[in-house]
Structure 1
Amino acid sequence: MNVWRRLSGQRRAIALAGAGALVAGGLVTLPVTAAHAATQCDVTWTSNEWQGGFTANVTIKNIGDAVNGWTLNWTFPNSSQRVQQGWSAEITQSGSQVTAKSLSYNGSIASGGSTSFGFNGAWSGSNPKPTSFTLNGTVCNGGTTNPTTPPTTPPTTPPTTPPTTPPTTPPPGGPRVDNPYLNAKGYVNPEWKAKAESVAGGNRVSNNPTAVWIDRIAAINGTPDSSSNGAMGVRNHLDAALAQGAQYIQFVIYNLPGRDCAALASNGELKANELPRYKAEYIDPIAAIQGDAKYRNLRIINIVEIDSLPNLVTNTSGNPGGTAMCDTVKANGAYVNGVGYAIAKLGAIPNVYNYIDAGHHGWLGWDSNFSPSATVLREAAGASGATPANVHGFIVNTANYSALKEPYVKITDQVNGQSVRQSKWVDWNFYTDELTFAQAFRNELISKGFSSSIGMLIDTSRNGWGGSARPTGPGPSTSVDAYVDGGRVDRRIHAGNWCNQSGAGLGERPKAAPEPGIDAYVWVKPPGESDGSSKEIPNNEGKGFDRMCDPTYNGNARNGFSRSGALADAPISGAWFSAQFAELMRNAYPAL
């Protein structure tokens, strides 16, 4: 981390005590003359740099009279240096000239007070620091410091979190409400927004709120690397949410020991026996940040540990495709106790809303899975100090592709005396889409002891299935398979396929209270972020290669030995996959 400071040219030494000028931090402090204007400033520039990119955090300290509204200007020494996404200020750039203006909540800086903002940037050739700043037209340009040459590889130390001054009038939020999405403005992740807008037509959807994934310990403070994580950490995103005037922000809590025990593509950094580390190094720091009083009026929504607890029912020994890792985390209680600890610790914060992952209809829609999964969810809600009161609701279809509604295939339909449940696609499942499953599973959860006020979320980020392949009516009645395959809008080869599905489209845009029992349709999986690599790609995030992401794979017991249906040339899970994003937009339903 590089820290570089510029002091006001109006600042002068207050004493020359025979030994020469007072030197602080390697910079010479010079006397203030009475003739100068009252605006005086001290700017601290903190940056993390890697080849081609950097994150900068800028702190303005007011050492003059109080300021009401501020504008900070500087010039980049290299014409290639560019601001990409910013937070806690309105940042514009013209050529090499950059202007950062205060927002509604941080324009006032008392004498001796400070405020901060930050941004992600890009460069080529070299990345020297700015040599001078002006605050409201007054130059801040004390001594000289040679900028440090940027490293050629990403730093191992995550970026420093900007200590943004809390807003004087925070966005409305107040005490915990029944539905945190209702009549509320959601946070737009500037990092995802920039990626979306890098693809032609992406600006049509880039202002939709998406969730921020905290998928490893380093992501808490931000990980400025080139693979699957952004430079902004949890506090950066919370500060940016305040700057946007957002009323809710969504995080995915996703780092259990032995994570995603049945899929290699989304394995994590913690071993199955590292529950103490999960608690101390992952959940506790997140809770400390989310519990900061400056965020008290922001509704913080946590999506808790996707693809975890249902695995204990469906992917342990005795089930098709059961794995040794799922057996281990079931036996040692890593998942049940990890989720319990997370919801207890985070749920103790008054403005936090926990939604636990509950699979999807193509996973839990059979009697053998439906009620037992609800039982395991209730067990976790009583583990490690948790109670059902720590659970605001549940989410289905997270990062999946199951259709929201199947308008032409109902579970009650019959063809030539045969139920659609007998078709190869439905395979005796009791549900054909996510909405009916979510509403039924909510009732089952209430019967297990959860509050009747719990709400469900449905991830609709990639389940639109529009485009030319979308059916416009029922299939032929020549056979039950022809009827189902010809009429179903979910065009996957098998309902168990989950990785970078070919032909998928954006689904319903985020929407509050769309159906009874449903708190919201949400985009928890940011569209365009990969599910996993289509071939093995070495990485330092613990993410393996799963053949279900290989378009040449012919399947396994869990998907009926069907082809994977995955797109080619995919990066590791969480990394940006522009070709997929373009396809999701083409096949969006409702259409863009």
Structure 2
Amino acid sequence: MRSQPHRGRARWWPGRAVAGASALALGAATLAVASPAQAAEGCEVEYTVVNEWSTGFTASVSITNLGDALNSWELEWEFSGDQRIGNGWNGSFSQSGRAVTVTNANYNGTLATNGSAQIGFNGTFSGENEVPESFTLNGVVCDGGTNEPDPDPTDPPDPDPTDPPEPGEKVDNPFAGADMYVNPIWSENAAGEPGGDAIADESTAVWMDRRGAIEGNDSPTTGSMGLRDHLEEAVAQADGDPMVIQVVIYNLPGRDCAALASNGELGPDEIDVYKNDYIDPIADIMSDPAFADLRIVTTIEPDSLPNLVTNVGSRPTATENCNEMLANGNYVEGVAYALDQLGAIPNVYNYIDAGHHGWLGWDDNLGPSVELFHDAATTGGASVDDVHGFIVNTANYSALEEPYIDVNGTVNGQQIRQSSWVDWNRYVDELSFAQALRTRAVSAGFNSDIGMLIDTSRNGWGGSERPSGPSSSTNLNTFVDESRVDRRIHVGNWCNQSGAGLGERPQANPEPGIDAYVWVKPPGESDGSSEFIENDEGKGFDRMCDPTYEGNARNNFNMSGALGNAPLSGHWFPAQFQELLANAHPPV
């Protein structure tokens, strides 16, 4: 995935208390709002101090609606001390004495049942900084419950949640309670490397990166196995138990408009070919009753929709190709068609690719991107019901967590956010970004039960270069550079990064809101060649894969940080595989 620097500054959309920081979850209350016509009302509030110093603090307030859908809200509370609110975000704040009123912003007033909104503010205080004791919404005191109408005695009883799902039954989290498919082609490549046996049985995704991959071809990494072959192998591996197989849908017209290493086979205007000769055959195979008991998880079109926000118009990161794809609408139309056709298959779970924190972590990137995701999910025959969630960090290197950096903290009176590395981003790692994006997506109209996936295949950053604690430096940039576990030269670097390591192994339900850590990018497969290589796969040469390249606007003109002697994207790269093993965190 491509990283996009941007220096936009607007409202902060907070994620969670960063691990290792002085954040403190201080308590929770509930709130409710409803018009008299609504049948149920109730909600939940979590008030968290994410940073505190001698005279001030930063607080995050998460609102979850437990009742009927709301069109607007007004939250009220009283401080017990002399706290005063300064600047706030994601709502309109007012304060009279100790009483605080917050009304929704124009983009987050709608809250579906179990939908959430996140607000935050900076404040000052002296003495004790106590958490408010209660919250109300439109005058309704929050008590943690919902006022539900009496159930219809003729309604069937709810299913026992402890009962295991039937084979093929749609589940909330497809990874929970399921085995994960091991791609035998990747497994054989991994096992053939020194030390590779230790991870050769991990699950990796199957990439449908061209029409030929559907039926199978003799490429170095996919061998002759096509989609049907992989699904049949997954059935055999399942042996009657729940099984997840991950398939990457990656062949949009004009694919990868901001880079060249993974250019696709279809021209910018070949949307009908994409639909008829790519998506339709994939849907036909996936809908075969022989595969109905599998849980097929799709990653929908990496390197697509975020490019239409960050690499278009008058931005210095804009490209002619991305402007063309914005104008012709074929990224949106193609993603919508894939969601619609694949989402109609009962055992398929669609996750839209949503970049990563170093691409969309700025307010004026994240907000428009979520709006664009919603547009794509409601175009043509697609609906939000076709979206099971989002995936971040696909094929990228952004750290899962930065344990020694508090993005809202300060060093010697300077904000961490103004450091060269953070560059005013709201996030420094993928976990906080993924959780915040999920909240933002629900507020934008996606279903409240969506989940997130994080690609942890190459973001471990272990080995001897990994810091063991925060820096002691009082120089802001030195502190951040010595404290961060992500050792890239710049967060915009994406190709075959030197020093990277395997990340967390694939696992279900690792954190709230996260369906799974997954290995979508098979470790050891190249991101792109380090010099031009003639090929018949439609893949170009991108200088970001050249270790001598001094950069462009998308990595703020830094060195690329790429390994040398790399093959074409998707081809096996033994030297990188060995680095990933050596720098794995957790260690192999």
TM-score, normalisation: structure 1: 0.70
Match of 1:240 in 2: 233
Inter-partner Cα distance in structure 2 for 1:433 and 1:334: 31
| Aligned partner of residue 564 in structure 2, secondary structure | coil
2:173 aligned with 1:187: no
Matches within 5 A, 1:58-69: none
Match of 1:416 in 2: 412
Aligned match for 2:245, one of 249, 267, 270: 249
Inter-partner Cα distance in structure 2 for 1:431 and 1:220: 37
2:209 aligned with 1:215: yes
Shift of residue 341, structure 1, vs aligned partner:
0.1
Shift of residue 343, structure 1, vs aligned partner:
0.6
Shift of residue 172, structure 1, vs aligned partner:
6.5
Matches within 5 A, 1:339-354: 339-354=335-350
Inter-partner Cα distance in structure 1 for 2:426 and 2:219: 44
| Aligned partner of residue 519 in structure 1, secondary structure | strand
Matches within 5 A, 1:313-462: 313-462=309-458
What is the aligned residue count? 421
Match of 1:582 in 2: 578
Inter-partner Cα distance in structure 2 for 1:180 and 1:361: 25
Q: Which amino acid aligns with 1:196?
A: A
Match of 2:521 in 1: 525
Match of 1:206 in 2: 200
Shift of residue 368, structure 1, vs aligned partner:
1.1
Aligned match for 2:219, one of 225, 228, 237: 225
| Aligned partner of residue 265 in structure 1, secondary structure | coil
Do 1:532 and 1:574's aligned partners in 2 also have CA atoms closer than 8 Å? Answer: yes
Shift of residue 540, structure 1, vs aligned partner:
0.9
Inter-partner Cα distance in structure 2 for 1:415 and 1:337: 46
Inter-partner Cα distance in structure 1 for 2:469 and 2:229: 47
Inter-partner Cα distance in structure 1 for 2:325 and 2:338: 16
Match of 2:503 in 1: 507
Inter-partner Cα distance in structure 2 for 1:500 and 1:230: 22
Instruction: For residues 267-307 of structure 1, give each alpha carbon's deviation from its aligned partner in whole angstroms, at most 9, with x where no partner exists.
Output: 10000000000000000000000000010110011100001
Instruction: For residues 434-478 of structure 1, give each alpha carbon's deviation from its aligned partner in whole angstroms, at most 9, with x where no partner exists.
Output: 000000010011111000100000000000000000001112332
Shift of residue 336, structure 1, vs aligned partner:
0.3
Inter-partner Cα distance in structure 1 for 2:461 and 2:478: 19
Do 1:173 and 1:299's aligned partners in 2 also have CA atoms closer than 8 Å? Answer: no
Inter-partner Cα distance in structure 2 for 1:569 and 1:326: 29
> RCO higher in 1 or 2 (8 Å CA, sep ≥ 6)?
2
Where structure 1 has 5 or more consecutive residues not aligned to the other structure, the ranges are 1-170
2:542 aligned with 1:549: no
Shift of residue 413, structure 1, vs aligned partner:
1.5
Q: Which amino acid aligns with 2:345?
A: I
Measured on the aligned residues, the alpha-carbon RMSD in Å equals 1.0
Identity level (%): 63
Q: Which amino acid aligns with 1:217?
A: R
Inter-partner Cα distance in structure 2 for 1:479 and 1:335: 44
| Aligned partner of residue 231 in structure 2, secondary structure | helix
Where structure 2 has 5 or more consecutive residues not aligned to the other structure, the ranges are 1-164
Match of 2:4 in 1: none
Inter-partner Cα distance in structure 1 for 2:367 and 2:476: 28
Matches within 5 A, 1:70-149: none
Instruction: For residues 2-40 of structure 1, give each alpha carbon's deviation from its aligned partner in whole angstroms, at most 9, with x where no partner exists.
Output: xxxxxxxxxxxxxxxxxxxxxxxxxxxxxxxxxxxxxxx
Inter-partner Cα distance in structure 1 for 2:511 and 2:545: 33
| Aligned partner of residue 265 in structure 2, secondary structure | coil
Match of 1:273 in 2: 269
Inter-partner Cα distance in structure 1 for 2:561 and 2:250: 25
Inter-partner Cα distance in structure 2 for 1:350 and 1:460: 27
Inter-partner Cα distance in structure 2 for 1:229 and 1:333: 31
Instruction: For residues 567-588 of structure 1, give each alpha carbon's deviation from its aligned partner in whole angstroms, at most 9, with x where no partner exists.
Output: 0000010000011011100000
